[in-house]
A and B are shown apart, each in its own frame.
Chain A
Amino acid sequence: MANNFARILSGKRNVGIMSLVGAGSLTAAFLLNREHVTAGAQVRRVYPASADYPDLRKHNNCMASHLTPAIYAKLVDKATPNGYTLDQAIQTGVDNPGHPFIKTVGMVAGDEESYEVFADLLDPVIKERHNGYDPQTMTHPTDLDSSKLKSGKFDERYVLSSRVRTGRSIRGLSLPPACTRAERREVEKVVVDALAGLKGDLAGTYYSLTHMTDQEQQQLIDDHFLFDKPVSPLLTCSGMARDWPDARGIWHNNTKTFLIWINEEDHTRVISMEKGGNMKRVFDRFCTGLKEVERLIQEKGWEFMWNERLGYILTCPSNLGTGLRAGVHVNLPKLSKDPRFTKILDNLRLQKRGTGGVDTAAVGSTFDISNLDRLGQSEVQLVQTVVDGVNYLIECEKKLEKGQDIKIPPPVRK
């Protein structure tokens, strides 16, 4: 409960992070000094770093690009206060060499402190993945004031649905790759308690994966809400699927427009969505819902993992900053066949996926179009990018319908 948990003071990197947890279910106190490994962490090292350094010669992921033997040697005997180690953080990247065309991140964080303790590796990975964002010198803007969004209602002859998602982590509890069963259950409890306090059009119900009835399960599948045990080796090799389906579940509001996944790849994934092109309303609900949930967990003494260097802290470094993916399912039969399509998307800072989500192919000419960036720009800025970009794509499609030519837009200002 609130009084039993002190706050994590997210100080500057030089000071380090202090995390004090009092009585109740967590009974130990950890004082973290960045320079030494605490009592909780036992890093068994029998071999020198050179003997354990992974063979990354056939690898193509961000971790492999930046994990030199020197950095490995420097970090390999360090652990976060909870005992999370470098070898665990990079395991997914070692086990999944990657693809010549698709560069995956190749590592995860096990807890908030991972981003500090393993900064020598994570900072360059973050810089590469997030287009030059330098965590050592830059700050990330957070802006969840959806009233700032301009226009945001798409032509529904083209846009079939609109969606915004992000993730949130509960400060003080380890992330999915590292969490113990108790921590994972605590995440579930904290979030479900908070969600029970939502009212009005946000009021809803929680469905635990372990306890849902067959009927509930079928309904969730029909609504396309149900998430499965991850099968992608990128995820399973990081350990986030351990103990499935313990403490995993889905919450959604009664109108099925606001949905939260608990303990999948992150502590929480928050999704606002609806059919049609009203991105403004989707984003309004997104921001209101997020702020409400935050208020409710703060009432109980919890908070989200956030700092001004990295924004919202999530499991995968690719989701830092806003963790936001705002997108639409949009029909672009002519434009998608135009050889300039990819370049247009690039310049608009958008990416295309199939309508099944990441790693799927498009069906017909309906694409999932969303923002590329996550870190270095605010939520408002990113959703605006999507709004402006999708409007441009629709204009192109209309032009092509009329037999007119289209232009590749200049790259949008970052």
Chain B
Amino acid sequence: MPFGNTHNNFKLNFKVEEEYPDLTKHNNHMAKVLTKDMYAKLRDKQTPSGFTLDDVIQTGVDNPGHPFIMTVGCVAGDEESYEIFKDLLDPIISDRHSGYKPTDKHKTDLNFENLKGGDDLDPNYVLSSRVRTGRSIKGYTLPPHNSRGERRAVEKLSVEALNTLDGEFKGKYYPLNKMTDAEQEQLIADHFLFDKPVSPLLLGAGMARDWPDARGIWHNDAKSFLVWVNEEDHLRVISMEKGGNMKEVFRRFCVGLKRIEETFKKHNHGFMWNEHLGYVLTCPSNLGTGLRGGVHVKLPKLSTHPKFEEILTRLRLQKRGVDTASVGGVFDISNADRLGSSEVAQVQMVVDGVKLMVEMEKKLEKGEAIDGMIPAQK
């Protein structure tokens, strides 16, 4: 159950003005959209599992945001949240996902053969390639809301499904609360281990409750396919390897995901998906594909070029540091979009964009200008 808010009916005894949060100093998507009237309209609603408006927005109330970084400021507690609170979530989704309308349809394409190229990114520049997404298991509530029993059921089902994988996907599950010191060391050395979240954005949503109960990491023997269980989402699925063969990373991603999904379906628990929102995840920012496909790439010259940000924006890419801050001109470059375009389309943008940026870097190394290479807005 969500934290501090099971008593929604009791709260209805108070007037709207008395309960409406003070959002005057806030800068997040939720605060932009949640007027007092909207609060009044939605405050007596709950999803079938009991998730309420205050549960949705608590993280956004507790984290006013930053003048430069616009956080989402709300989460879903279950699949139905996106329906029951659509008056709030649709405008947020539209704002966050480039004008995506409530009537739009999202295309899912996990057919890796549709990706063109991607096997020829220069490994002198592209150090590693990675594709991740999330999946929620239909019929269970999401991490902000689930009880211990539910979370454990998600873990149990996930581990059963993962243990059926074979061939290149054959692997092992490491539950957080039972791993040995040696296993922990190895997982840290492999950069696989995830920690209890510390970000107040996540903690404020209640998803770290009962840590580390029913949390764990599964990976295949080759350490190229990894699944996080019960972190910010039911499942986070990651395909990765050193070097620039994004084609192979994406192939493994698609094949692995399909295998996992088949196993879940056999247990009558497919993934949460609908044709409007695509894959349903905890944070509205991850709807659609939930996919972040990216590379660690060396761009020391390009990254200091005055048009770097603009180039990224036009290519529909975003930069992050490696392990949060960028070191030595190495950046994490990935797709900015999640909803409104397919997995193939988004990975294609990464492949094409990174290829172009590496060429720009090479040109800058030779002291040549790159103005003619700057792309139009995709």
Contact = CB atoms under 8 A, between A and B. Distances in A.
Interface of A: 21, 25-28, 39-44, 46-48, 51-55, 58, 79, 81-85, 87-88, 91, 94-95, 177-178, 180-183, 185-186, 210, 236-237, 239, 241-244, 246
Contacts of A87: 1, 147
A51 B149 contact: yes
18 contacts: A21-B13, A27-B13, A41-B6, A43-B1, A46-B49, A46-B147, A46-B149, A51-B148, A51-B152, A54-B148, A88-B4, A180-B10, A181-B21, A182-B14, A210-B22, A242-B61, A244-B62, A246-B21
B177 interface: yes
Given A42-B50, A244-B62, A25 B18 contact: yes
Given A25-B15, A88-B1, A95 B208 contact: yes
B202 to A, nearest CB: 12
Nearest to B24: A210
A25 B10 contact: no
Contacts of B319: none
Contact of A243 (B13, B21, B211): B21
B50 A182 contact: no
B366 interface: no
A402 B100 CA distance: 82
A27 B7 CA distance: 15
Contacts of A48: 149
A388 B213 CA distance: 48
B95 interface: no
A186 B49 CA distance: 30
A246 B1 contact: no
Contacts of B6: 41-44, 79, 83-85, 88
A242 B153 contact: no
Nearest to A246: B22
The 6 closest A-B pairs by CB, nearest first: A83-B7, A47-B149, A51-B149, A182-B18, A182-B14, A239-B4
A186 B11 CA distance: 13
B94 interface: no
Give the residue among B13, B20, B62, B208 with the most A Cβ atoms within 10 A: B13
Contacts of A182: 11, 14-15, 18-19
B7 A94 contact: no
Contacts of B19: 180-182
Contacts of B62: 241-244
Contact of B14 (A25, A83, A95, A241): A25
Interface string B249-268: 00000000000000000000
B214 to A, nearest CB: 9
Contacts of A88: 1, 3-4, 6
A54 B148 CA distance: 7
A185 B149 CA distance: 35
A26 B13 CA distance: 6
Nearest to B214: A55
A186 B19 CA distance: 11
B1 A28 contact: no
A55 B7 contact: no
Given A55-B213, A87-B1, A40 B10 contact: yes
Interface in B1-36: 1, 3-4, 6-11, 13-15, 18-22
- Chain A, interface SS category: loop
A10 to B, nearest CB: 20
Given A25-B14, A40-B9, 18 more contacts: A41-B6, A41-B9, A42-B9, A44-B50, A47-B147, A47-B150, A48-B149, A82-B7, A88-B1, A88-B6, A95-B210, A180-B10, A181-B18, A181-B21, A182-B14, A182-B19, A185-B18, A186-B18
A91 B209 contact: yes
Contacts of A244: 62
Contacts of A26: 13-14
A41 B149 CA distance: 20
Interface residues of B, number: 35
B364 interface: no
Nearest to A243: B61
B3 A91 contact: yes
Nearest to B210: A94
B203 interface: yes
B346 interface: no
A15 B19 CA distance: 32
Nearest to B150: A47
Contacts of A239: 3-4
B286 interface: no
A357 B209 CA distance: 27
Nearest to A85: B6
A39 B153 contact: no
Nearest to B61: A243
Interface in B237-258: none
Nearest to A58: B177
Contacts of A44: 1, 6, 49-50
B348 interface: no
Nearest to A45: B147
A95 B18 contact: no
A186 B152 CA distance: 39
Contacts of B22: 210, 243, 246
B108 interface: no
B58 interface: yes
A126 B7 CA distance: 26
Nearest to A51: B149
Nearest to A21: B13
Contacts of B208: 95
Contacts of A241: 62
Contacts of A83: 6-10
A42 B341 CA distance: 40
Contacts of A186: 18
Nearest to B48: A44
Nearest to B6: A83
Contacts of A180: 7, 10-11, 14, 19
A186 B17 CA distance: 12
A231 to B, nearest CB: 10
A186 B14 CA distance: 11
A183 B58 CA distance: 16
A185 B16 CA distance: 13
A84 B2 CA distance: 11
A240 to B, nearest CB: 9
A26 B152 CA distance: 39
Contacts of B61: 242-243
B14 A178 contact: no
A47 B150 CA distance: 7
A40 B14 contact: no
A178 B50 CA distance: 17
A239 B152 CA distance: 23
